[in-house]
């Protein structure tokens, strides 16, 4: 009997063995009934049998073995993906879920081989096709399971970031009131200033964390364009940076018209991160320079600092989230989550602009942002 026929005729027997194995996966299986334990096993087996009956050339088989097959089996993929999602929901870990497929494969082959009286060459081909089908279902289950893990983590981070804002705001406001109304001197004044500076850093980190989660949950960075002057926002960003680090003294050069239709809050966020990055990695906090220049259609911003150049191999991943610099990896103190430049790129992209980096030992490091004066309305199709 061919393997696909054997699977169809014995599907209930095979699923019974699947259920018995799934019961041993504790503690997740302790609270699951028979329906939950059997889950999509029947659908996976029947879809596998249908896939095995489809004609397949040697070249198609070789491509499928490399995961490059031009066509998949929708019913098999859907059952595999649903199984991965539900197993994550009930508390299976990834190793436990994949062990189910290992057991299913072994169970089917064992039962089928025991039923054979006179195997021939075609039966070995059946075994290969069955393994391919199980591998496809396993791949879909694993991918969906991993996606659910990532989504659960991102939702947790979103809740954490959101809930942290209220206590941070309370600390910040209380410190501000102390500095304004109380007579603080000496160490008390120094401590209050340090608390204010620290809560400011924490607030920026929480904001960056929320933007990361937003992007990972598939949401583009929202912007609210309004008529504004980028030079004014840049001056305010520099003043805020100097309030947090009194020893810094960035310079700003402005030429041309710097007005446009952008989101002031987002551009302030972009500038804070670019200035903060330059101050952190520059060799001299007083030699950070910003330039703004406007032409007929766009405004160009550059942020420059001296110091060690960015390694060439690090530039391609510089805007990736959670990437730490070499100095941070060596243990130097930092308030960064590795999200600052990621947020910068998100803001620039949301305004349909461009950002480039040049970094070498002779000239230092320069980030160049070009923003069109008006964000074009995106067409939804």
The secondary structure of 56-74 as a DSSP string is --HHHHHHHHTT--S---H
Write down the pLDDT at residue 354: 96
In terms of domains, do 166 and 257 share one? no
**Integer CA distances (angstroms), 353 to 96, 137, 225, 293, 369, in order:** 46, 42, 14, 15, 7
Does residue 381 sit within a domain? no
Alpha helices by DSSP H, listed for the chain, are 3-9, 11-22, 34-38, 41-52, 58-65, 74-90, 94-115, 121-181, 186-216, 230-244, 264-281, 326-329, 340-350
**What sign has the CA pseudo-torsion 320, 321, 326, 329?**
negative
Token digits of residue 256:
């041309």
Q: Whole-angstrom distance between the N-terminal and C-terminal Cα of the chain?
A: 52
Return the closest-CA partner of residue 134 out of 101, 183, 94. 101
Determine the longest span between alpha carbons in the chain, in angstroms: 97
β-pairing verdict for 251-255 and 226-229: unpaired
Write down the pLDDT at residue 260: 95
**pTM of the predicted model over 0.75:** no
| Chain-centre distance for alpha carbon 70 | 28
Write down the pLDDT at residue 69: 54
Number of CB atoms found within 10 A of residue 314's CB: 13
pLDDT digits (tens, 9 = 90+) for 171-221: 888 888 888 888 888 888 888 888 888 887 788 778 777 777 766 656 567
In terms of domains, do 271 and 362 share one? yes
In terms of domains, do 137 and 54 share one? yes
In terms of domains, do 160 and 137 share one? no
Instruction: Kindly state the average pLDDT of the residues 86-96.
Output: 81
Provide the domain count of the chain: 3
293 band by pLDDT with thresholds 50, 70 and 90: very high
Does residue 378 sit within a domain? no
In terms of domains, do 9 and 145 share one? yes
Token digits of residue 175:
């410190």
Residues making up the chain, counted from first to last: 381
**Rg, the chain, Cα only:** 29
Of the candidate ranges 37-46, 153-162, 272-281, 327-336, the one whose mean pLDDT is the lowest: 327-336
Write down the pLDDT at residue 263: 93
pLDDT over 60 at 380, yes or no: no
Token digits of residue 312:
């060439």
In terms of domains, do 230 and 171 share one? no
Give the end of a domain, one of 102, 126, 152. 152
Give the end of a domain, one of 152, 178, 206. 152
Write down the pLDDT at residue 329: 44
Return the closest-CA partner of residue 15 out of 108, 80, 87, 85. 108
Q: What is the domain range of residue 161?
A: 154-216
Give the end of a domain, one of 216, 245, 270. 216
Does residue 318 sit within a domain? yes
Does residue 379 sit within a domain? no
Of the candidate ranges 45-59, 145-159, 182-196, 267-281, the one whose mean pLDDT is the lowest: 145-159
């Amino acid at each position: 009997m061919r393997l696909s026929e054997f699977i169809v005729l014995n599907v209930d027997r095979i699923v019974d063995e699947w259920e018995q194995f799934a019961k041993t996966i504790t503690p997740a299986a302790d609270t699951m009934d028979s329906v939950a334990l059997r889950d999509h096993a029947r659908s996976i087996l029947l879809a596998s049998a249908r896939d095995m009956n489809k004609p397949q050339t040697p070249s198609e088989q070789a491509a499928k073995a490399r995961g490059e097959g031009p066509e998949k089996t929708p019913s098999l993929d859907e059952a595999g993906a649903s199984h991965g999602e539900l197993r994550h929901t009930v508390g299976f870990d990834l190793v436990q879920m994949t062990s189910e497929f290992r057991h299913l494969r072994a169970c089917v082959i064992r039962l089928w081989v025991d039923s054979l009286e006179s195997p021939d060459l075609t039966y070995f081909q059946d075994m290969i096709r069955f393994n391919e089908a199980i591998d496809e279902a396993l791949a879909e289950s694993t991918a969906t399971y991993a996606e659910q893990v990532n989504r659960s983590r991102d939702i947790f981070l979103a809740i954490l970031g959101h809930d942290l804002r209220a206590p941070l705001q309370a600390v910040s406001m209380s410190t501000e009131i102390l500095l304004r109304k109380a007579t603080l001197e000496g160490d008390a004044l120094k401590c209050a200033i340090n608390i204010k500076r620290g809560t400011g850093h924490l607030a920026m980190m929480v904001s960056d964390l929320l933007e990361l989660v937003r992007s990972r949950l598939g949401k583009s960075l929202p912007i609210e364009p309004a008529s504004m002057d980028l030079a004014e926002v840049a001056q305010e960003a520099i003043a805020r940076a100097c309030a947090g680090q009194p020893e810094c003294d960035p310079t700003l050069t402005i030429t041309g018209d710097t007005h446009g239709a952008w989101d002031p809050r987002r551009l302030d966020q972009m500038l804070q991160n670019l200035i903060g990055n330059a101050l952190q990695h520059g060799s001299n906090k007083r030699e950070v320079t910003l330039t703004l220049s406007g032409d007929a259609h766009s405004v160009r911003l550059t942020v420059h600092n001296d110091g060690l150049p960015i390694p060439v191999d690090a530039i391609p991943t510089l805007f990736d989230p959670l990437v730490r610099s070499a100095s941070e990896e060596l243990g130097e103190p930092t308030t960064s989550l590795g999200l600052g430049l990621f947020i910068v790129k998100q803001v620039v992209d949301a305004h349909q602009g461009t950002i480039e980096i040049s970094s070498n030992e002779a000239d230092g490091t320069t980030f160049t942002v070009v923003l069109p004066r008006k964000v074009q309305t995106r067409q939804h199709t």
